[in-house]
Structure 1
């Protein structure tokens, strides 16, 4: 049993998986360990979860990590 299952069920009510569709290349696993600085440049590495989707997905996936930091 998932704790607070009702909360997750409410969050998914009305969710349409088509909202994730898009043609943007997504990293899908952005976190500080996957970002390398070289001089003034930032490089995104470790593309093992690369996929296509809506442009906003990477930003949403990164937000909890930024809050945590």
Structure 2
């Protein structure tokens, strides 16, 4: 899964890293690490939480050509 792209899509929707962390339950340092590329993977549970927030915001399972921001 391309976590960086998912987070970038949420940021482009107007959410801050802190808001993403609060809404998803994934720590802000994990969000920052995924965004910077210092971290590429995370626990399964955190991935589910991040995808749940993405679905809540976009109504889709993962970024599409229209929502992806690399």
Looking at both structures, which has the greater relative contact order when contacts are Cα pairs under 8 Å and sequence separation is at least 6?
2
Q: Hey, which of these two has a bigger chunk of strand by percent?
A: 1
When normalised by structure 2's length, the TM-score is: 0.27
TM-score normalised by L of structure 1: 0.27
